[in-house]
Structure 1
Amino acid sequence: MSRFPFSRRLPANVNRIIIRFPEDVQEFFLEMISAERSQQTIANYAYDFSLFFDFLEKEGIDLEEITSRTLRRFFRRIEIGYERTVRVKVKRTDPATGEVCEDWVERKHFRENTRAGKERKRSSLRSLFRYLVKNGVLEKDPMEEYADATLKARNRKKVPVFLTREEALRLVKAVEAYHRKQKRRKCTWYEVRDRAILLLFLNTGIRVSELVGLNQNSIQPDRDTARVVVMGKGDKERMLKLNQTAYEALREYMKLRPTENVPPDHQDALFLNKNRTRMSRKGVSDALKKYVQEANLPPKAATISPHKLRHTLATLLLSNGENLRVVQEILGHSSIQTTQIYTHVIDSERDKALDRLDGML
């Protein structure tokens, strides 16, 4: 087994996944690091490969024995969903000595395999097998044979789920309502943090991976406001102006953000969790779920995720008459076609508005 850590440029939990892979697959990750792929991209590949190599281990199949039939069985196995085991580092306090120590624990949770998730896993494995063939590890690419023998799924584009302006305001107000029910004597720093996070999502369209990657110096003051420097997909940087609502919420959080007992590796992080380490994507999603429930949003909005708040901003901007190219720049889309899906949302809402006139005239 390879040394630990695998790479000092990667988080410890990702290192622990990668060192379990065959050496040739580890070389694939070294190439990704050399190509300066983002930590989130590398982590996504590691999670996808972990599912696949766990399947191979249970089936007793070596890397050189993989065929298109192996791939078909794997994808069918995870078609509906799958259980994922993650290893997280937690702090424990010895009740006798009061000493704080860190330990790794395993947590299992079930994940639905969405359409986008399925495509990402196929894309991840395509990249791996192309690399292995190119470097002489495998003679042929089993993923190509799998693709040739598989029926293509119909290309159905779903209209993105989003909040109306009124629903978005209810969600923001739900933060205060939720914490008031906890009967705390004063406003906590994490209540202020969560309000700032929601307003950043709704006013910048930032991705959740971009948000958790923000550092304190990502916020650049600019006279009476500020700009946020966002590192997007493919390490493409963009700078977004914060409006007064988002900036005031962020400044209020920064006043209360903890500075003591923050581990050295997390002192630069903008958003901290209750353990005073950098907030994770799951932490953000879990916090959002509380406020969605508190806001008592309608059924179509009950499953709102951080990414759907991004849909909300795009829809509100286009509904307000903003230029499609401007929205593309704000969201950091590499292609205008990705942004154009939101015009279908506007068309759909327009159609519904006209339908509601039926019978009135």
Structure 2
Amino acid sequence: MSDIPFSSRLPESVNRMISRFPDPVQDFFWEMISAERSPQTIANYAYDFALFFDFLYSQQLDLEKVTPQVIRHFFRRIENGYERTVQVKVKKKNPHGEIYEEWIERKHRRENSRAGKQRKLASLRSLFRYLVKSHVLSQNPLEEYEDVSLRTRNRTKIPVFLTREEAIRLIDAVAAYGEKHNRHRQMWVEARDRAIIILLLNTGMRVSELINLNLNSFQIDGNQARVIVIGKGGKERVLKLNPIAMHALQDYLALRPKSNIPVEHRDALFVNRNHTRISRKAVSEAIRKYAREANLPPKAASISPHKLRHTLATLLLSNGENLRVVQEILGHSSIHTTQIYTHVINPEKDEALDRLGRLF
């Protein structure tokens, strides 16, 4: 494997994944980079393709041998979940006490949700369309493929969200957890986690948007602060920080490590204990940890960064905010996506049920 990164725009782990793919597939990623697709979008494609090509290698197949039956076999293989292999760089110490870095493989068991299947199918569609257009393949095997499991009636699920009281308990759990584990307490980590939760709850940004924030993503003018968020498709939106979010951010910045940060991570707003840019996995694990500490109800206990986004939308609509305003805050390209929250907050439905109570 070449030591030269595929692209300096991408994380090293993603570069290593892409370098394993056949040359025509690497060309597909160059097209994505030229189109200025976000690093997170490119990483998602890389993860989906890695799963597919691992399957092809296990069947001793190459791209030219892919048929609708092969694709069907792939999706049936991962129908009930799959094991994803990821490479991570860890620091080790040799017998002489010298620190060195080494890449290791870690395996994670993943569930294959309906949304996950749809994303993998969309990723492969994009790839095979590109390969046909580039005359690498003469025929697109996905044109004759249909996944019956994706034709089932689409169920509208009510978004899982926290109530206002539960959200406050989650924030308070950060300090409670620190006091309980005082022996290993790191105040800057505590301030970071509190700022992350408060930012997610008060801006509704996606976790991918949060981890890509830089120190210069904020505009501070006197007592006002705004954050520039880079959303899907590279679209920017500017969100005002309320005093609670601004103070939480200032508390973290006062304690954020300023030394021993690798050059490529010095601009990162949120860093981990190794002083590199924090990952979405680390953010998710931290939130789950504090949800357990807060002793939230069963449905809320499985809270994730995206469910904090649901929480903001629900609280805004409960407060009587306009649906279009909520759409702009969340960065939804279509208002139909935002309308799912109206299934949760419907004053007329509530009033109808209240009136019914007078009949008994």
> TM-score, normalised to structure 1's length?
0.95
The residue that corresponds to 1:59 in the other structure is 59
The residue that corresponds to 2:48 in the other structure is 48
Matched residue type, 2:136:
V
Gaps of 5+ in 1: none
Distance apart, 1:311 and its partner CA: 0.3
Confirm or deny that 1:6 pairs with 2:6. yes
The residue that corresponds to 1:39 in the other structure is 39
The residue that corresponds to 1:139 in the other structure is 138
Task: Work out the CA distance in 2 between the residues paired with 1:317 and 1:85.
Answer: 39
Matched residue type, 1:114:
S
Q: Deviations over 1:83-142 (max 9, x none)?
A: 111101112234633x32211111111111112111110110010011011111111111
Matched residue type, 1:251:
Q
Aligned length: 360
Task: Work out the CA distance in 1 between the residues paired with 2:147 and 2:169.
Answer: 49
The residue that corresponds to 1:69 in the other structure is 69
Preserved contact between residue 179 and residue 185 of structure 2 (Cα < 8 Å) = no
Preserved contact between residue 4 and residue 19 of structure 1 (Cα < 8 Å) = no
Q: How does 1:1-361 map to 2 (within 5 A)?
A: 4-94=4-94, 96-97=96-97, 99-147=98-146, 152-184=151-183, 188-347=187-346, 350-351=349-350, 354=353, 358=357, 361=360
SS of residue matched to 1:147: coil
Preserved contact between residue 160 and residue 299 of structure 2 (Cα < 8 Å) = yes
> TM-score, normalised to structure 2's length?
0.95
Q: Which moved more, 1:315-324 or 1:3-12?
A: 3-12
Preserved contact between residue 4 and residue 15 of structure 1 (Cα < 8 Å) = no
Q: Cα RMSD between the aligned structures?
A: 2.1
Relative distance call for 1:223 and 1:151 in structure 2 (3 A) is closer
Identity of aligned residues (%): 67
Q: Deviations over 1:278-304 (max 9, x none)?
A: 000001001111001011111111111
Distance apart, 1:79 and its partner CA: 1.1
Task: Work out the CA distance in 2 between the residues paired with 1:274 and 1:360.
Answer: 60
Task: Work out the CA distance in 2 between the residues paired with 1:349 and 1:82.
Answer: 44
Task: Work out the CA distance in 2 between the residues paired with 1:358 and 1:93.
Answer: 69
Q: Deviations over 1:26-72 (max 9, x none)?
A: 11001111111110000000000000000000011110111111111
Q: Deviations over 1:118-169 (max 9, x none)?
A: 1110110010011011111111111121038776121112111100101101
Preserved contact between residue 174 and residue 194 of structure 2 (Cα < 8 Å) = yes
SS of residue matched to 1:197: helix
Gaps of 5+ in 2: none
Task: Work out the CA distance in 1 between the residues paired with 2:348 and 2:323.
Answer: 17
Q: Deviations over 1:214-235 (max 9, x none)?
A: 0001011022021011000000
SS of residue matched to 2:284: helix
